[in-house]
Amino acid sequence: MEERLQKVLAEAGIASRRKCEEIITAGRVQINGEVVKTLGVKVDPELDEIQVDGRYINQQTKIYVLLNKPKGVITSSADPGGRKVVTDFLPGIKERVYPVGRLDYDTEGLLLLTNDGEFAHLLTHPKHHVPRTYQATVKGVPHGTILDKLRNGIQLEDGMTSPAEVEYADVNPQKNESIIQITIYEGRNRQVRRMFEAVSFPVTRLRRIKFGPLFLQGVPRGKYRHLTPAEVKELKEEALSTHNIQKGQ
């Protein structure tokens, strides 16, 4: 059955569909030995020989993984400097998977990995607003007015943040620190850390504990588990439902 080339590449785990379009127009794809740069070309993955950067692609079984990422690990599949990467913690998974979004080097917790480019694109596209919940340990004890600022939106160098859900999880007066639970609906770079820095309460530890309907509970640090088909379906449905809410449907 013929399908659009960028869709076939995404389903083979090459990258998201949009990134696959860039790969095609850059001349990195060959079909039956000929370079193709035109978007919309249709191929039959069972009959056509498709190469990306000289390597043949294969239609792979879809893999969906929830990893409890440790601190001090790079959210990547490789690092030229030889530092540990998240895929080092996936023994037994032979398929090439890549992270859905990112967690900073010093941030730990729930990270999804997959070889399903369409799934990754759905969850990370800004229009879908899938909620992400973090536990942030901060220096000091922010008052309610400070938390209200975070709830209403903070002006950062790349614009105003969307409203967030914020509440105390714990307070330790002896250490002069607090644990704040915050749920955001965006995926900007280092967003949670920058939000707290903007209100002068720097983060000393950050852990993602929830992504959409998925919780971190039950997965030890540095370990992973496969998502169930029901969980994958629920994630997709939540991403689409948040998009519809945003559109006012």
Catalytic annotation, residues: 104
The one-character DSSP state at 228 is P
CA dihedral over 96, 241, 125, 180, signed as positive or negative: negative
Residues ≥6 apart with Cβ < 8 Å to 207: 107, 108, 109, 134, 135, 216
Residues ≥6 apart with Cβ < 8 Å to 241: none
Can you tell me the distance from the alpha carbon of 214 to that of 231, in angstroms, rounded to the nearest whole number? 8
Closest CA to 108 of 81, 132, 160, 73: 73
Q: How many CB atoms lie within 10 A of CB 229?
A: 10
